[in-house]
Structure 1
Amino acid sequence: MRKMLCFIIVAVMGFQMGLVSYAQGITVEIDKNAVKFDVEPVIEDGRVLVPFRRVFEELGLSVEWDGSLDIASAYDEGTSLSIKASSRYGSVNGELLELETAAKIVDGRMLVPLRFISEAFGNEVVWDGDKRLVSITSGFKEISKTDELPAVGSREKLMAILEYSQRLSRFYTQFRDDISIEKGLEESFEPEAGDTEPPDYSETNIQVEGVDEADIVKTDGEYIYQIRNNNISVVRADGGKLSLESEIEGKDGFKASEMYLSGETLAVIGVSSRPEFRMMDQDVKESIWPYPGSALKMEVYDISDKSSPKQVRSVEIDGRYVTSRLIEGKLYMVANKNMNVLYREGEFDYRPSIYDSIEGRPIEIPYDEIRYFPDSVMSSYLITIGIDLENLDKRADIDAYLGSGQNVYASRENMYVAETRYEYDYELDESGNSEVYYPVYKVNTDIFKFRLDGGDIDYVTKGKVAGTVLNQFSMDEHGGEFRIATTSGEIWRTDERTSKNNIYVLDRSMDVIGKLEGIAPTEKIYSARFIGDRAYMVTFRQVDPFYVIDLSDSENPEILGYLKIPGYSDYLHPYDESHIIGFGKETVQTKGGFTVEGMKIGIFDVSDVESPVQSHAISIGERGTDSEMLRNHKALMFSSQKGIMAFPLTEMRKADEGWSQFYYQGAYVYAVDVEKGFDLIGKASHLSREDYEKAGSYWYESDKNVKRIIYIGDNIYTISSSAIHSHDMNDMSFEGKIEFEK
């Protein structure tokens, strides 16, 4: 239930009384009590206008006046509405409302049409023309949830939507310390069923079985495909024999970032650099400066002939790449596009542009096809793109929404896009001579649910939970329900707004049906993983609590057990149903808090869910030791079938004087067994002895840094931008290499 207003229908307001009339004698009653105004209601073009502040304060709402934008707003816990002077549009809970009469300022007060009040709360207002009486009755009204999104419709409406939404964000973008209220206007580890044997080569480390993720290296078990220095190399791998079959040379203005391999098709995703000049009005008083722009671009290659790949399609979207997934030959991408709206005069086209080679020309998404989320509007676009790589003659499914996306989780059927949202309120400070309201805010996460079907992406509904989400592994879908782990509050605070951690379960309609809040106060989530009916979560401040959470009863999640140990895990990887491997850092407690040391890998045994233990652990290096896999799970090669894991690492060790200095960069390959723990099979570097001698105490990014490790059969391949080396899996002995020209 939201607090709303219920208006009684008695008569029609729209009678004609002349263009403008200062309507002396008009009475406004709220709950049968007459309201006194310091500025009287007026009638304009046959429509009654009443003072905004007085009416909504009488109805129990808080009222704000933003003099810089000429916008009056009223809100309570469940309702927010705004209207701008001289505008034909108002905003009700973020949804634009077109009015027949614009609001206006009279004697320093904002007057708004009665229809705005009635439409804001879903019912009619009483106007008794004979008695010249407006009657309003307060009460409660249920708001029914709808998943139908309104369309932007036109450039004029887009600018109005964004202007109202900017009011919500100005506190954070302009660092305002306070606002004076107006006194006048000056003031899963769930393998798929089946008998299919896994391929005898490594695949990209992904989150969900059957949902592929893009990376810089792919293999089909015979060839290795690698993005390196903007070129794409196709290398035949036959044990220790490596040969370059072909190379797709990088193009000017396009930088390849990652790719997918789907049968005989290679889809390369990257950034197309181009300046953005789209201002059309030459008489602009204050124009938007042209700036270097960039676009998301995908190039598709037919690689059936490995010696001669052929580009067969390209798609370019005016936006910034967020992420993507590949499911059974269907590619789904997400992009954001900032609009840089400065509210200047001039006709600037803010619509995202699209170029698809099968269309042969650039097009812009029509305004009536752009949708927006009424209670989550941003001055940017969230763009979804679906492409069928098995039918390249089919048009791409491209949709645009006013919004943004930060973290994405995808199952085989649905995609969930999470975005942090700041909801602001005010706290009253009456310590001075005037009332000053300071902005305060709480941080929530909006989750937009999309259905994935045959290369099409369709919006379904949205949900909301408290706090922020760390990454894709803090989200999951299981049995049709969506689970998410969040951190709310601030870790540096010691009052009631200190950090806390939460688990939420949402149903198919994205309504919260279960929650577990307030986990590990003063700490924040460093890693999470959902596996079947359980969630595993690592929080940290000075020690590493590892939590086991039961989700078998969706409506009543509960903590089964936890373990406190030094250090923390940045990434949790499932080994089997009873063992989780944590990858992170060692920490040492000090008087002032803690110091971060070398890399730490541990096996958590959750056979006894009430008393989880760390059964095995190893530490690598000293302070400064780092691996990309701590931030990017795709840098980990892991096979429980072969009992091995490998990752790239830059190892630092302490020198005589106590400071850490560079020791090694390369691939670290381990045998993994839940009974025996970890056993280092070997290491492999692409750096020469001379490179190590030149490095001294520090080592920086280099083309010789090993970035990925894969296996094909019984061979391990270590991959850098300069070379691919082949090794025997049993002992990491060197077998052969191919070096690339710079």
Structure 2
Amino acid sequence: MSDKIKEILETPVIPDELKPENIPELLEKRGGKGSSDGGTETDGVLREESVKTLDGSGKSGKKKIIRRVCTYSAVAAACVLIVGGVMKFVPHEKNDMMTAEMFIGTTNGINADDKSKNPASKAEEAASDNAESYEEEAVESTYSGTFAYVNAKSYELLFDRAKEASVTRYELNGVIGEEEARGADTVDSSLDYNSQIKGDGSETDVYNTLSQVEGIAEADIIKANDRGVFYVTNNEPVYVSAYYGKSVTYIPVDKKTGKFGEKYKIEVAADAGIPEASWFDVSAMYLTDKKLTVIISSWYNEVDGVPKPATTTVLTYDVTGETPVFSGKGVQSGSYSSSRMNGDILWLVTDQNSWNIFTEYNYYDDEEVSDTRTYADTDKRLYVPFYGASYEKAECLDLSCIYLPVNDDQGCDTLMISGININSPESAISSTAVSGYTGDIYCTADALYIQQVNFEEGSGWYGDSTTISKFDLADGVITPRASGKVNGTVLDQFSMSEYSGYFRVATTLYEWNEKKGTTNTSNSLFVLDENLNVVGSVTDIAPTETIKSVNFQGNTAYVVTYERTDPLFAIDLSDPSSPVITDELKINGYSSFLWKWDDEHLIGFGVDATDEGIETGVKLVMFDVSDNGELKEDGYYAISSGKFYHSTYSYAVYDRKALLLAPDKNLIGFPLEESDEDWNYKHSYALFSYADGEFTEKGRIESESEYTNFERGLYIGDHLFVFSQDEAVSVDIETMTETDRTEFETMNNIKKNEEPVRYGYDINE
């Protein structure tokens, strides 16, 4: 433990018996043997997490290094019985429960050595009892699998965790930055990259957001039906709009002529009740035959001097008429993280971070200003997940629906999952909150999987693992099912798949050698049963490389890794207990996205590169996968000047939703950005087809803006429509002839007028 952390943990508010040097003795008195990492070998208050590892033993053998926030002073927070099932709400009014002194010190003058009077000591005894109860109850759990989380003991504990995280976040800033950077420099981004795979509307001749799992719709910033397009646009400059954020524009289209109708702006900020001059973002949309669902994240730290947390608002609109009509609203705590939709049920996932609500930091004077609020006078909605028809009417979740990791050392971010009927979004059917979540989700009609990244240390090497937890979904009700643990981290949602009762996941393991200052990487694919026990694996795939894309097709997994070349691996999963690599094909560059083109072909889109691994542009590649696991290249097309680094770029390399993939129409589309030696930029949207082993460029749609690239492309009937934040363009797919072009009211298009300043912003600057 570093001297800095030890100094913080030994502040005067902590009783002597809870100071770090006394923890082993305290644990031994309570019946457990102290360990160097703050856990115990038997039944102490802190214990190794009871999560199945690769061999299913539950033994880790590695020491946790991220227990900076809530470890020692949360000794009293060990664990209670798992409670699943029915969701409960409690009012958000101030509590009359015990004060925070129960966990954080002896400010009332009680002698810390007098255990009969010291509330911290009593809490520690209760926690030890609860830890033993959990161990006994876990054996009798109604779930066939082991769940890696236990219910929060009290709202006061949640308050204590949030406040401690808020205080130590700044004090530990240097330590956290140093230790987190070891993983942050090497771990791939875990943003939620949803794909455009299969339309979620009923129209057969309209391209919409495509889905990883059949029947499970995914969100996007654009949605369409055969009458028009809903598109998330940058809000007007603040001298025009009172809100800082984005809006939704509805653009009617004539599918026969490709002409645009009169645009209609949906006032989502006003419908959401967001105060003027507040920051918000339209994060996602869904479209069914009758409803448009808009999901908004908003941030406003104070309203009338009262702190408020980030919230996510679900807005629904009736789209059966000529223009959308607002029909309902629901508000959930936290910022938008991800979502899925099955029929009329929206699964909404948000991330509530409460570390900054109790402590302010003056960056100019480099000093901290601590908040003196206590549990008794703090609105629970600042640190407890909630849902309701509005922020004012929102109710906090019952403790039976709030879960903490068995090893409570993953920080104080809280994931909240709600099942919401879009026909009545004012209340959730069911909600669950889980602390310590990171990363993408994977969702089927029956289950939702989340992941928690664990940073570990062993023998001088720094590696990581991932805890995967499964929730059953039925009629909008969320029920914890099981947890399992695998080595490495998950790139994105496409690295996960459920098939024939098994969960498959591909990971990259980063191991940091502190002495040598080097990082080793390796890749694996694991097969887990329905209770998330690992039953089979392939490890040490392409050492020194990292996973760039994964695609599962039935009993076959296709995995792309990359360092200098693009190896594509085919892995046979027909025997879950013994996966086998059947073939490997190497080409230059890498595919950032893979998708099934037809029964015999797999298409890849990504980055073109030289033999030395220098990235020069973008590429399309078609793989022949028809020969029993053997791989062959069956088409390659690169767009690259070859003159200097990154002269050709596509937004779709990093955002899969920007790809248009329509095998039925034989269309492949994506945005392009090209620059010359003088850094003059040209933006366009390229459209391709494929036949007989060759890609053919049908044409490009040129942008009239030097600064704004196209974000999305879709077809309605025989016309292609492409969209940027400045404009929308339509062309005839057959002839690539432009049929219409329209502009949006954005900074680049609105002329400066007589009122250049509003809310402190001058557009002339």
**Does residue 246 in structure 1 map to residue 250 in structure 2?**
no
SS in structure 1 at match of 2:151: coil
The alpha-carbon distance between structure 1 residues 118 and 634, as it changes in their structure 2 partners (threshold 3 A), is closer
Larger CA Rg, structure 1 vs 2: 1
Match of 2:78 among 60, 76, 91: 91
Given that residues 658 and 712 in structure 2 are in contact (C-alpha distance below 8 angstroms), is that contact kept between their aligned partners in structure 1? yes
In the other structure, the counterpart of 1:365 is 397
SS at match of 2:301: strand
**SS of the counterpart of 2:494?**
helix
Match of residue 560 from structure 2 = 538
* Structure 2 counterpart SS, 1:243: coil
Distance 1:481 1:714 in 2: 41
Matched, 1:459 2:480: yes
CA apart distance, 1:564: 1.4
Q: How does 1:515-554 map to 2 (within 5 A)?
A: 515-554=537-576
Query: Following TM superposition, by how much is the alpha carbon of 1:89 offset from its aligned partner in structure 2, in angstroms?
Result: 2.0
AA of the residue aligned to 2:588 = P
Aligned-pair CA distance for 1:150: 3.2
Change (3 A) 1:228 1:80: closer
Where 2:506 maps in the other structure, the secondary structure is strand
Q: d(CA) in 1 for partners of 2:544 and 2:148?
A: 39
Which has a greater percent of strand?
1
| SS class of match (2:614) | strand
The equivalences for 1:548-567 within 5 A come to 548-567=570-589
**2:148–2:469 Cα contact (<8 Å) kept:** no
Residue by residue over 1:520-573, the C-alpha shift from the partner in whole angstroms, topping out at 9 and shown as x without a partner, is 111110111111111111111111111001111111111000011211111112
- The letter for the 1-side match of 2:730 is S
Shift of 1:737: 3.1
More helix by proportion, 1 or 2? Answer: 2
Deviation track 1:131-169 (CA, whole Å, cap 9, x = no partner) reads xxxxxxxxxx99986449532242333356679999999
Q: 2:281 — aligned with what?
A: 255
Give the aligned partner of residue 345 of structure 2.
330
Query: What residue identity is the alignment partner of 2:213?
Result: V
Report the equivalent of 1:385: 418
Relative to structure 1, the CA distance from residue 202 to residue 74 in structure 2 (aligned partners, 3 Å threshold; closer, same or farther) is closer
Q: 1:322 touches 1:334 (CA, 8 Å); kept in 2?
A: yes
Counterpart Cα distance in 1 of 2:695 and 2:23: 75
Evaluate the alpha carbon distance shift between residue 163 and residue 426 of structure 1 in structure 2; reply closer, same or farther with a 3 A threshold.
Answer: farther
1:240-639 → structure 2 map (5 Å cutoff): 240=257, 241-244=259-262, 246-251=264-269, 252=276, 253=278, 254-276=280-302, 294-307=310-323, 309-340=324-355, 346-347=373-374, 348=378, 349=380, 350-352=382-384, 354=386, 356-357=388-389, 361-375=393-407, 377-392=410-425, 395-424=428-457, 441-490=462-511, 498-590=520-612, 594-609=613-628, 611-622=630-641, 623-639=646-662
Q: Provide closer, same or farther for how the CA distance between residues 249 and 65 of structure 1 changes in structure 2, counting only shifts above 3 A.
A: closer
Give the match's secondary structure for 2:497: strand
Cα distance in 2 between the residues matched to 1:50 and 1:445? 28
Tell me, yes or no, if the aligned pair for 1:296 and 1:321 is still in contact at 8 Å.
yes
Aligned mates of 2:502, 2:741 — CA distance in 1: 48
When the two structures are superposed, what TM-score results if normalisation uses the length of structure 2? Answer: 0.70
Q: Helix, strand or coil: the match of 1:375?
A: coil
Q: Deviations over 1:670-713 (max 9, x none)?
A: 1122x2321011111231xxx5xxxxxxx43x2xx322111112
Q: 1:212 and 1:123 mapped to 2: Cα distance?
A: 38
Matches within 5 A, 1:47-196: 52=25, 62-63=35-36, 77=60, 89=76, 91=78, 146-147=146-147, 149-158=149-158, 173=176, 175=178
Contact in 2 for aligned 1:378/1:404 (Cα 8 Å): no
Letter in 1 for 2:310: S
State the one-letter code of the partner of 2:317. Answer: Y
* 1:682 counterpart residue number: 699
CA contact (8 A) 1:74 1:80 kept: no
Against the structure 1 CA distance between its residues 217 and 116, is the aligned structure 2 distance closer, same or farther, given a 3 Å change threshold?
closer
- Partner Cα separation in structure 2 for residue 353 and residue 54 of structure 1: 32
* Cα separation, 2, equivalents of 1:352 and 1:160: 11
Cα distance in 2 for partners of 1:57, 1:497 equals: 41
The 3-state SS of whatever aligns with 1:89 is helix
> Structure 2: 5+ residue runs without aligned partners?
1-16, 49-58, 83-101, 115-119, 181-193, 235-246, 270-275, 360-369, 747-765
Seen in structure 2, the aligned counterparts of structure 1 residues 576 and 495 have a Cα distance that, compared at 3 Å, is farther
Residue 491 of structure 1 contacts residue 524 of structure 1 at CA under 8 Å; is this kept in 2? Answer: no
Is residue 79–residue 153 contact of structure 2 (8 Å, CA) maintained in 1?
no
Report deviation, 1:580.
1.1
CA distance in structure 1 between the partners assigned to 2:538 and 2:45 by the alignment: 38
So what's the TM-score if we normalise by structure 1? 0.72
Q: CA deviation at 1:584?
A: 1.1
- Does 2:208 correspond to 1:200? no
User: In the aligned structure 1, how far is the partner of 2:659 from the partner of 2:725?
Assistant: 17
Provide the rounded CA distance (Å) in 1 between the counterparts of 2:527 and 2:521: 20
SS at match of 2:156: helix
**In structure 2, do the counterparts of structure 1 residues 302 and 352 end up closer, same or farther at CA, with 3 Å as the change threshold?**
farther
d(CA) in 1 for partners of 2:407, 2:304? 29
Is contact 2:162-2:355 (8 Å) kept? no
AA in 1 matched with 2:722 = T
User: Relative contact order: is structure 1 or structure 2 higher (C-alpha 8 Å, sep ≥ 6)?
Assistant: 2
Partner of 2:683: 665
Label 1:642 to 1:385 Cα distance change in 2 as closer, same or farther (>3 A): same
SS of match in other structure, 2:217: coil
| Structure 1 residues not aligned, in runs of 5+ | 1-43, 125-140, 178-187, 281-289, 428-439, 692-698
* Number of aligned residues: 611
8 Å CA contact 1:51–1:111 kept in 2: the answer is no
Distance 1:426 1:345, change over 3 A: farther
Cα RMSD for the two superposed structures: 4.5
Q: Does 1:712 align with 2:716?
A: yes
SS in 2 for 1:406: coil
| Distance in 1 between residues matched to 2:595 and 2:225, nearest whole Å | 24
Q: 1:278 to 1:577 in 2, by over 3 A?
A: farther
Q: Does the Cα contact within 8 Å between 2:75 and 2:127 map onto a contact in 1? A: no
Structure 1 57/524 Cα, relative in aligned 2: closer, same or farther at 3 Å? Answer: farther
CA 165–506 in structure 1, closer or farther in 2 if over 3 Å, else same? farther
Shift of 1:358: 7.7
Distance verdict in 2 for CA 1:53–1:711, change over 3 Å: same
